[in-house]
Amino acid sequence: MINRLFFLVFFMALSNISQAAPPTELIYKLKGSITKVHSVNASGGRSTGTGVVVAENKVATNCHVLINSVGMNIGSMGENFQPVGLQADWKHDVCIMSFMYLPLKPAALGDSEHLQYEQEIFSIGFPGGPPKPLTTWGTIKALYPYDDSVVIRTSASFQMGASGSPLFDAEGNVIGISTFKSPGRNSYFYNIPVKWVKAALNLPVLEFSRDSQPAFWDVELEKKPFFMQIVLPFQNEQWSEVESIAKQWLKASPDDVEAMFYNAAVKDHAGDLEVAKAIYQRILKTNAKHADSIVGLANIANKQGKSGDFEDYKKRLTELNFDDDQLSLLITK
């Protein structure tokens, strides 16, 4: 049986992989394209977020940063700039503010169609509203197909004020926008893909309006994507609920590796080790860098006393930049 300690450690370890910080000169260059977004609502409440210049006179952020706003501006290099129009994709939480004569250089836009698990990433934004942008870094932990692209989960954490922060690949290309996290202490951190930003650049520029609609991640629980519905039941070991959601997810998307993973975890917990093992192995045939599945196999090997297999899986995790301390935490007692 997989115990409570294993699952807590399982994801703590996966979320804290040792990665080198991106080059200082690259961060310095990119900060010239990062802005702080200020918004004021009708009752006088103020909020801040982050924006990134994505084209000439265009700054992208999350729509939820601007929702119910009656006044907004961006700040950069000690100056404030007032937008004159908005391109809004409320469902996907992408809003692009238009400006006149914005003296900021656009960041290079990459693509979100060729991302890989464990790929190194970093983000620059204003978590907590500091005066200067801060940098966080980590790796891609999961890719969730949604609509015509993927939602990106990373090990790079963020907090209020960082919504709208650009997510960069190792070369400094924008691949996503930091957008939302799961509730609870062991939060998952999600980023919307740059493909949606590119699509929003083709929307009509409208005057500012308080009209809006909830983002896909901010609707009722039963209407949220399966990858969001399953997080808290999984973390709280509500196995019947995890099994129910995983079955629905697999029915809708039989080849989704994350749906398969949760199904394997249910089997693993129930003691159906050979069934779980087969599912984990099937996942790795599709995605050799699916670290969660490698961890699952390592623990099954350990429980079955197969030391050779266990060492092989540890080696695979080492190749994905797990260090010795993290590997020691993954052993199920």
Write a three-state SS string for 135-153. Answer: EEEEEEEEEEEECCEEEEE
Terminal-residue alpha carbon distance, the chain: 10
More reliable by pLDDT, 329 or 123 = 123
pLDDT higher than threshold 60 for residue 192:
yes
> Any idea which residue has 């464990």 for tokens?
118
CB-CB contact of 93 with 192 (8 Å): yes
Ramachandran area for residue 57 (φ above 0: left; ψ -120 to 50: alpha; else beta): left
Q: Which amino acid is at 64?
A: H
CA Rg value for the chain: 21
C-alpha closest to that of 61 among 32, 80, 29, 39: 39
pTM for the complete prediction?
0.91
User: Would you tell me how many other CB atoms lie within 10 Å of the CB of residue 193?
Assistant: 26
C-alpha span between 231 and 74 (Å, rounded): 34
Extract long-range pairs of 298-302: CB within 8 Å, 24+ residues apart: 298/330, 298/331, 299/2, 299/6, 299/268, 299/330, 299/331, 299/332, 300/268, 300/273, 300/276, 302/331, 302/332
From residue 216, alpha-carbon distances to 92, 135, 182 in Å are 6, 27, 13
What integer is the mean pLDDT of 94-101? Answer: 96
pLDDT tens string 5-22: 344 344 444 444 456 789
Q: pLDDT exceeding 70 applies to what percent of the chain?
A: 90
Q: List the domains of the chain with CATH numbers.
A: 4-18+220-329 (1.25.40.10), 28-106+201-216 (2.40.10.10), 108-193 (2.40.10.10)
Angle at the Cα of 244 from the Cα atoms of 242 and 248, rounded to 5 degrees: 115
Backbone angles phi, psi at 165, to 5 degrees: -65, 135
pLDDT tens string 160-177: 779 999 999 999 999 999
